[in-house]
Chain A
């Protein structure tokens, strides 16, 4: 896979910071024809050049006027259905909305804030960020206008909060806005947010994907119950680099250059076309082989197929970037086969053997992460021993993983599970038989097969189960096959924090969030684990304002999950995109929409 300069810089940085394997880096570079000393000096001379809170893309392209770039063609294999991020049902909608709308600040690849509609990022130094974490003052960029010519002011920011926080609106972004007590408009271009309690994650509201600001003068009458009927949702007006021309839900969106964009000489393209639908493999072909499109989103294609497409294609390449999602196996702490008061996996019935730490440790060392990463994921993932890997400041260095069937067998022996006549382990007359479920997905089914084979070698009988993704991830309380019911012994899928602050992500393991019948399985603690120390750490981190102490708390929470084998992290996933050889300027970030820096994309042969 050819590596462009941006990828190389990023990789070097990750190696220097100890995030990526030095040996792997050396081997690849030497493979590309660089001499070993040269590669070493490349690493040695590198200093963390990118200042926190900036786009790290080198400014190789400095246009002197807007436009002139023709049409940019983007291909999403899921089609956007609505262009208002606050009512979206998925990434496709967030992205379609992000072309038009902008937040106060976006997140770069490392989860750092980059100002968009804000004049600057609030900080303790200039007092715009309160020391006690109860308020934050944002200064807005002046002379920004909406696509219809009206000025962008503090009123729009206040309105966006009122809109999203109103439960009648049914905004999916409401979680980011509900902890705001009030917002004061200090002047036309300054707002002060006051929080209900000290808030370390003060950059949730108005930042990143869910932070997109709506124009008050157009949306005001569609707040609350009316939100769903608003024609605005399909004909949005924003401050972004491109204006919506036409939107066909479930098919395509067409945008044109915004001649009054607030960044000089940007954007580059005259038109942007966002086409949706189809499947990931043919999307990869359309960019890499036929060149019909310039950019394809989320190429979740099997490793072999994607590699073949890339080999055959001459017009584009596969670009990967680190994400935060972890493909992991959860171990059920409750008995899925005993029914108590009309529910299985009830807290009243502990699991017969997964409550034993030795058994869980045995399972952990019986998962061959290396084979899964190399054979099934390829560029799309790497083995991991952590649940939290990014942003880097939250990554624990205390954990490690190994694959050893002898050790697994030893631990099972030690736990009192001896092999029966058929090779399956037995203890007190109970056979060690487990059901392993996941969603229907070719890579997941192959992972299941790898794990099953290893488990069977150490005497664990495994029955595989695959549930249609639409059912598995649904919130239907009446369906026993959802991931939240967890009516099997172990299950596997991907979790990601979804924002650069993992607080909300980590509440998936606090004791008051245990999913059960009483809360219609809407609780987030699916494994039904409870641990007093973890609960305490989580509460402490919720209001801890010192970034260093907070990082320590989060790392400790991660370590608890790993030490107690609450789950088995398997693959740290990468984002995979198809990009035309002529398209440049993007810094793909998992913390924000693909389009967070769309204004800077350009074409150069």
Chain B
């Protein structure tokens, strides 16, 4: 087990270096620079822009810039933002709570819906409940979040005037009112993301349950005289969870990077909207930090998923 872990961790190092090289090169080759608006202002001399490019090291060759970034990253220095002129880690930490709250709640909601609905659909396939659930899952999965987001805004903000559609981080209230206001403004983004995730997970849980439910060991479990509930939960669900765990584990890093589109629509100041604005203003250090952390999380969660398999299925050993 320890040997296996060590080997897996060592393998990730070249993977991460490779990812960082690709990311950095793509970003360095992308056109544009952070000083676009300055160019059109006649009162800002061109030397100022050229000087800024030089100060930020944008004039150096790409390999030099990459090595500078890599050595800084190894020392724990994430670089600093060209446009805000503060350290990137500070920017990210400022956004993290909002992202974790909105996306964490949305994923929690998705699991709460998807597990019971998926299991019940699979236990009674082609029943009325299954038909309705499958239809909803199919519709929810087909509608992109930018569409449902706008639909929700039209309905709940413009038409019914119930909910605000702009997410504020500077709410002037305290105690329960503060909590209530937060939930009120987060309701739409959470619902949009949660329902979308729930739809895709439901389909997954159902399919994976159906794969297992007709296996011989399920019949054996029933023959042993176990109750239907224990059969489903203890024998079917546990085995059906393996592919579900994979997909959830691979989606979890997404909680960190945020939901780019949904955050943009509702002006949620999460990491996704930070990423978008950094890309738009060619703020390379910020883009680099977010994408790199994301790839790191993907690698780590892959590893975690592999380890969880071992607990779910004792036949899997690590060697």
Contact A277 B46 (CB under 8 A): no
The interface stretch among B223-231, B276-284, B293-301, B302-310 is B276-284
Query: What B residues does A468 contact at CB under 8 A?
Result: 31-32
Q: How far is the CB of A292 from chain B (nearest CB, A)?
A: 5
Contact B269 A252 (CB under 8 A): yes
Which residue of chain A is the closest to B29 with respect to CB atoms? A478
Which residue of chain B is the closest to A227 with respect to CB atoms? B85
Q: How far is the CB of A356 from chain B (nearest CB, A)?
A: 29
Contact B170 A524 (CB under 8 A): no
Query: What B residues does A493 contact at CB under 8 A?
Result: 40
Contact A504 B43 (CB under 8 A): yes
- Chain B, 67-103, CB within 8 A of any chain A CB: 80-86, 91, 94-95
Query: What B residues does A351 contact at CB under 8 A?
Result: none
- Using a CB–CB cutoff of 8 Å, the interface residues on chain A facing chain B are 71, 75, 79, 81-82, 87, 89-91, 167, 170-176, 178, 204, 210, 227-230, 233-234, 246, 248-252, 254, 271, 273, 275, 277-279, 282, 285-286, 289-290, 292-293, 468-471, 473-476, 479, 481, 484, 493-499, 504-505, 507-508, 519-520, 522-524
Q: Which of A75, A498, A508 has the most CB of B within 10 A?
A: A498
Q: Which of A81, A254, A507, A508 contacts B84 (CB 8 A)?
A: A81
What are 11 A-to-B residue pairs whose CB atoms are below 8 Å? A82-B83, A82-B85, A172-B38, A233-B84, A252-B168, A278-B267, A290-B158, A473-B36, A474-B33, A493-B40, A505-B42
Query: What B residues does A495 contact at CB under 8 A?
Result: 40, 42
19 further contact pairs, Cβ within 8 A, besides A82-B83, A497-B42: A81-B83, A90-B37, A167-B47, A170-B51, A172-B44, A227-B85, A234-B86, A249-B84, A251-B94, A251-B169, A251-B269, A275-B170, A278-B267, A290-B164, A470-B31, A474-B32, A474-B35, A479-B31, A508-B42
Query: What A residues does B65 contact at CB under 8 A?
Result: none
Contact A475 B42 (CB under 8 A): no
Contact B83 A89 (CB under 8 A): yes
Decide yes or no whether B211 CB sits under 8 A from chain A: no
Decide yes or no whether B161 CB sits under 8 A from chain A: yes
Query: What B residues does A210 contact at CB under 8 A?
Result: 43
Contact B81 A249 (CB under 8 A): yes
Query: What B residues does A171 contact at CB under 8 A?
Result: 48
Per-residue A-contact encoding for B23-57, CB less than 8 Å = 1, 0 else? 00000000111111111111111111111110100
Contact B51 A484 (CB under 8 A): no
Decide yes or no whether B165 CB sits under 8 A from chain A: yes
Contact B39 A475 (CB under 8 A): yes
Which residue of chain B is the closest to A515 with respect to CB atoms? B46
Decide yes or no whether B287 CB sits under 8 A from chain A: no
Contact B39 A473 (CB under 8 A): yes
Decide yes or no whether B216 CB sits under 8 A from chain A: no
8 closest residue pairs by CB, A with B: A251-B269, A522-B46, A249-B84, A470-B32, A90-B37, A471-B31, A504-B42, A228-B85
Q: How far is the CB of B77 from chain A (nearest CB, A)?
A: 12
Decide yes or no whether B112 CB sits under 8 A from chain A: no
Q: How far is the CB of B134 from chain A (nearest CB, A)?
A: 34
Per-residue A-contact encoding for B242-282, CB less than 8 Å = 1, 0 else? 00000000000000000000001101010001100100111
Q: Which of A90, A250, A520 has the most CB of B within 10 A?
A: A250
Instruction: Report how far A173 CA is from B269 CA in the complex, Å.
Output: 29
Q: Which of A175, A228, A275 contacts B80 (CB 8 A)?
A: A228
- Using a CB–CB cutoff of 8 Å, the interface residues on chain B facing chain A are 31-53, 55, 80-86, 91, 94-95, 153, 157-158, 161, 164-166, 168-170, 172, 264-265, 267, 269, 273-274, 277, 280-282
Q: How far is the CB of B172 from chain A (nearest CB, A)?
A: 7
Query: What A residues does B55 contact at CB under 8 A?
Result: 170, 228
Query: What B residues does A176 contact at CB under 8 A?
Result: 43
Contact A277 B273 (CB under 8 A): yes
Instruction: Report how far A479 CA is from B80 CA in the complex, Å.
Output: 25
Instruction: Report how far A470 CA is from B46 CA in the complex, Å.
Output: 17
Query: What A residues does B281 contact at CB under 8 A?
Result: 81, 89, 470
Instruction: Report how far A159 CA is from B42 CA in the complex, Å.
Output: 24
Contact A290 B161 (CB under 8 A): yes
Q: Which of B39, B53, B86, B172 contacts A71 (CB 8 A)?
A: B172
Which residue of chain B is the closest to A73 with respect to CB atoms? B168
Query: What A residues does B170 contact at CB under 8 A?
Result: 246, 252, 254, 273, 275
Query: What A residues does B282 contact at CB under 8 A?
Result: 470, 474
Known: A278-B264, A285-B158, A473-B36. A523 touches B166 (CB 8 A): no
Contact B51 A290 (CB under 8 A): no
Contact A484 B168 (CB under 8 A): no
Query: What A residues does B39 contact at CB under 8 A?
Result: 473-475, 484
Query: What B residues does A522 contact at CB under 8 A?
Result: 46-47, 49-50
Instruction: Report how far A234 CA is from B81 CA in the complex, Å.
Output: 13
Q: How far is the CB of B93 from chain A (nearest CB, A)?
A: 11
Query: What A residues does B157 contact at CB under 8 A?
Result: 290
Query: What B residues does A82 contact at CB under 8 A?
Result: 83-85
Contact A523 B32 (CB under 8 A): no
Instruction: Report how far A293 CA is from B165 CA in the complex, Å.
Output: 11
Q: How far is the CB of B259 from chain A (nearest CB, A)?
A: 14
